[in-house]
Amino acid sequence: MPSNSSMVPLIVVIGSTLLAVFGVRYLVKRLWDTAMSAYPRQQPAADAVYRRHQSFYVNYINMAMAIHVAVDDQYLHLTPIILMRWFGTAPVSIPWEDIRLVKPGGRILPATARLANGRCITGPRWCLQLAAPIQDAQTPTPDRAADEQTPRPAAGDRDSSR
């Protein structure tokens, strides 16, 4: 039987590991809840587009390949994988009206959007860019406002000297 002095390192290792795991769980839950608590889960529509294991960056949490995504006409549905749910992240449904595209992303770069609560999410371009048509319809850009005020010439009024 081991002596009490040889048990101390084992107890320290086990205690440190448990403290680290539950500390990380607490932090992840707090950061996720801060960004997503306003968006309860809704049932995706029957015609929703699903993709599994997508990468998102939400409120300082890098969730690489840890989100299942469903996209329908009303919501962006984010469902964390089981391991991330153990860390305290809950499934959410974010209405498209609350998502404003900030950076559209590139061919291999993810897109970035800002939620109505001021938090940023970064994720796959294919789903976050779906917020752009709603944003375009609701928020006139300076260029669009100028275009709406400037009358466009009719087809017969164009200068033919070119």
Split at pLDDT 50, 70, 90, the class of 95 is: very high
Domains delineated in the chain = 32-148 (2.30.29.30)
Three-state helix/strand/coil letters over the chain: CCCHHHHHHHHHHHHHHHHHHHHHHHHHHHHHHHHHCCCCCCCCCCCCEEEEEEEEEECCEEEEEEEEEEECCCEEEEEECHHHHHCCCCCEEEEHHHEEEEECCCCCCCEEEEECCCCEEEECHHHHCCHHHHHHHHCCCHHHHHHHHCCCCCHHHCCCCC
157: confidence class by pLDDT, cuts 50, 70, 90: very low
Q: What is the pTM of this model?
A: 0.72
